[in-house]
């Protein structure tokens, strides 16, 4: 444990950089444990690009399981997600009490198997097994019993699972409540600015430098928590005097939409299983009567684009209409959101001290950050206040092995093909032909040292050796 007073010119015990759900939850938990917290990051504005306000936010310990996940992976991830879901039962009431905001969960989740997915029946089995294996209920139903479900004639729903242990929360309301709670807390100071970097300060602590007009304050603290989502790469680049030895943080661009006056009764969220490298299509009812529609997921080389591409929005609306409800088309589109999900090469978060023990990280939550927020906040607060800290699987200094391209192609090419030729019932011979063609071409190119596009495919892969990069490989190949 580092001493909390290193002589740095500061009143804060810890600076938390980043004001998405992870930064806000962490700051609040640290303040509730009696630490003086200086929060750095945007407070006002539209927050486009931020993952948290673009999220559904499904609290989904089980329905995020994929049939292809290994049993070890399922045990680890579901265990952490169940722990996070359990924390919500005390976390939301304490936020309600601190702010007076009527924050509430909408309980339950319908997961439907449709012909729009490849092997959805198997996916439902894997989800049910995960829930039952953790002592939770997973009820099989006829799809006709799912409120709000009315897919297009081109798509048949052939199975449904009701998960009463899952829930949804309004991400905008949650962020507003956390913001209010932090403004009201006597131990919290908030600098509404972008951090540009960290440097050592006299006395052994750290200084966080901020962008803005001359005179923008610098923030000094003995320890700093980086909770900047996909902003990590830039912030580390601006902190050249520190050796943080952090693994790469990738960005999954997600687009979601908000609809009003949709003529469906939707008492609980309805979703498909995972597909197309994303969390499937989902409709989430909001307390104000609007319906949240999510979400796309594409690996993105940068987080600069703050608006949806027309084709992203078109895919989202078409797929949700076809698989879940054509009634959506009668609603009004009142808003769209773009958010970049932070994720690591092994798809697990990074939580705790980096190679420099003054700098901690809380990020890489990928598709589950809204759910994991109270859990990560607790872990970081433990690292700040306890010694020793209970072991957890998200140590940022763990070895992370990149995925190998041949195995990734073998396993994930069918998903890529589904993006071009969406399955509808029995896979067509064309899907098999296209998968074989892509397989031979990409494998051949990646192995061919002389082919100019081969070098480019390998370079693209080296930058992001994850299944989500297959789309980029294909674009590189076709270019």
Ligand X SMILES: Cc1cc2nc3c(=O)[nH]c(=O)nc-3n(C[C@H](O)[C@H](O)[C@H](O)COP(=O)(O)OP(=O)(O)OC[C@H]3O[C@@H](n4cnc5c(N)ncnc54)[C@H](O)[C@@H]3O)c2cc1C
**Interface with ligand X (CB under 6 A):** 17-23, 40-42, 47, 50-52, 54-58, 194-195, 227-229, 231, 235, 254, 256, 294-295, 339, 341-342, 363, 365-371
CB of 238 to ligand X, least distance (A): 8
Complex with ligand X: residue 222 or 364, whichever CB lies closer: 364
Question: Distance from first CA to last CA of the chain, Å, rounded?
Answer: 52
Complex with ligand X: residue 23 or 285, whichever CB lies closer: 23
Element (H, E) at 362: strand 359-363
Yes or no: say if 405 and 244 are a contact pair by the CB < 8 Å rule: no
Yes or no: say if 166 and 59 are a contact pair by the CB < 8 Å rule: yes
Yes or no: say if 140 and 160 are a contact pair by the CB < 8 Å rule: yes
Tell me which long-range contacts 78-83 makes (C-beta under 8 A, separation of at least 24).
Answer: 78/130, 78/133, 78/134, 79/134, 80/372, 80/375, 80/392, 80/393, 81/368, 81/371, 81/372, 82/134, 82/136, 83/375
CB of 191 to ligand X, least distance (A): 9
Ordered alpha helix ranges (H), 268-391: 310-323, 369-385
The two structure tokens encoding residue 46 = 């539209």
CB of 319 to ligand X, least distance (A): 14
CB of 30 to ligand X, least distance (A): 15
Complex with ligand X: residue 182 or 435, whichever CB lies closer: 182
Complex with ligand X: residue 207 or 365, whichever CB lies closer: 365
Complex with ligand X: residue 54 or 409, whichever CB lies closer: 54
The two structure tokens encoding residue 52 = 């948290």
- d(CA 252, CA 312) in angstroms, rounded, equals 13
Residue 45 Ramachandran class (φ > 0 left, ψ -120 to 50 alpha, else beta): left
Task: Locate the DSSP E strands across 204-290.
Answer: 206-210, 219-221, 223-226, 250-260, 269-271, 282-285
CB of 296 to ligand X, least distance (A): 7
Complex with ligand X: residue 319 or 461, whichever CB lies closer: 319
Q: For residue 284, what are the β-bridge partners?
A: 292
Complex with ligand X: residue 379 or 417, whichever CB lies closer: 379
In this structure, what DSSP letter does residue 213 have? S
CB of 471 to ligand X, least distance (A): 17
Complex with ligand X: residue 223 or 458, whichever CB lies closer: 223
- d(CA 23, CA 39) in angstroms, rounded, equals 8
CB of 50 to ligand X, least distance (A): 4
Complex with ligand X: residue 338 or 445, whichever CB lies closer: 338
Angle at 381 between CA 390 and CA 33, to 5 degrees: 120
For 207, phi and psi rounded to 5 degrees? -115, 130
Complex with ligand X: residue 194 or 454, whichever CB lies closer: 194
Complex with ligand X: residue 106 or 363, whichever CB lies closer: 363
CB of 426 to ligand X, least distance (A): 31
Closest CA to 116 of 156, 148, 147: 156
CB of 423 to ligand X, least distance (A): 23
CB of 193 to ligand X, least distance (A): 7
Closest CA to 383 of 244, 246, 227, 225: 225
- Tokens 């007073």, located at residue: 5
Yes or no: say if 348 and 368 are a contact pair by the CB < 8 Å rule: no
At 164 the three-state DSSP class reads: strand
CB of 56 to ligand X, least distance (A): 3
CB of 84 to ligand X, least distance (A): 9
Complex with ligand X: residue 304 or 478, whichever CB lies closer: 304
Q: For residue 113, what are the β-bridge partners?
A: 159
Task: Locate the DSSP E strands across 7-155.
Answer: 14-17, 37-40, 58-59, 106-114, 139-141
The two structure tokens encoding residue 193 = 């600015």
């Amino acid at each position: 444990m580092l001493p909390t007073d290193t002589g740095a010119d500061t009143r804060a015990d810890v600076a938390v950089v980043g004001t998405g759900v992870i930064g806000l939850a962490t700051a609040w938990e640290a303040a509730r444990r009696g630490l003086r917290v200086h929060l750095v990051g945007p407070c006002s504005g539209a927050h486009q690009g931020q993952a948290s306000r673009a999220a559904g936010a499904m609290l989904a310990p089980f329905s995020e399981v994929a049939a292809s996940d290994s049993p070890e992976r399922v045990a680890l991830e579901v265990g952490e997600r169940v722990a996070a879901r359990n924390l919500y039962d005390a976390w939301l009431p304490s936020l309600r009490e601190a702010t007076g905001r009527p924050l509430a969960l909408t309980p339950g989740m319908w997961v439907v198997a449709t012909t729009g997915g490849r092997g959805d029946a198997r996916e439902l089995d894997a989800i049910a097994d995960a829930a039952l294996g953790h002592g939770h209920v997973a009820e099989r139903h006829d799809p006709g019993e799912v409120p709000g479900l009315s897919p297009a004639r081109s798509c048949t729903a052939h199975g449904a699972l009701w998960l009463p242990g899952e829930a949804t929360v309004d991400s905008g309301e949650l962020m507003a409540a956390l913001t209010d709670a932090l403004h009201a807390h006597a131990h919290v100071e908030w600098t509404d600015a972008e951090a540009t970097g960290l440097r050592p300060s006299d006395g052994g602590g750290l200084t966080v430098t901020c962008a803005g007009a001359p005179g923008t304050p610098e923030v000094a603290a003995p320890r700093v928590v980086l909770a900047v989502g996909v902003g990590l790469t830039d912030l580390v680049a601006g902190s050249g005097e520190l050796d943080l030895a952090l693994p790469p943080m990738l960005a999954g661009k997600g687009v979601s939409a908000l609809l009003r006056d949709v003529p469906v009764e939707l008492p609980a969220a309805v979703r498909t299983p995972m597909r197309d490298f994303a969390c499937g299509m989902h409709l989430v009812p909001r307390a104000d009567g609007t319906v949240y529609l999510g979400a796309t997921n594409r690996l993105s080389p940068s987080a600069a684009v703050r608006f949806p591409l027309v084709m992203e929005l078109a895919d989202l609306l078409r797929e949700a209409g076809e698989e879940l409800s054509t009634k959506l088309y009668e609603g009004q589109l009142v808003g769209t959101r773009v958010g970049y999900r932070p994720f690591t090469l092994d798809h697990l978060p990074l939580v705790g001290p980096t190679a420099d023990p003054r700098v901690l990280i809380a990020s890489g939550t990928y598709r589950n950050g809204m759910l994991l927020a109270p859990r990560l906040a607790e872990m970081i607060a433990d690292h700040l206040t306890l010694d020793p800290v209970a072991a957890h699987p998200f140590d940022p200094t763990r070895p992370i092995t990149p995925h190998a391209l041949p195995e990734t192609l073998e396993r994930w090419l069918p998903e890529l093909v589904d993006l071009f030729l969406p399955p509808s019932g029995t896979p067509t011979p064309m899907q098999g032909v296209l998968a074989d063609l892509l397989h031979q071409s990409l494998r051949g190119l990646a192995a061919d040292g002389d082919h100019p596009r081969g070098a480019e495919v390998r370079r693209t892969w080296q930058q992001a050796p994850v299944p989500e990069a297959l789309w980029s490989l294909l674009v590189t190949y076709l270019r």
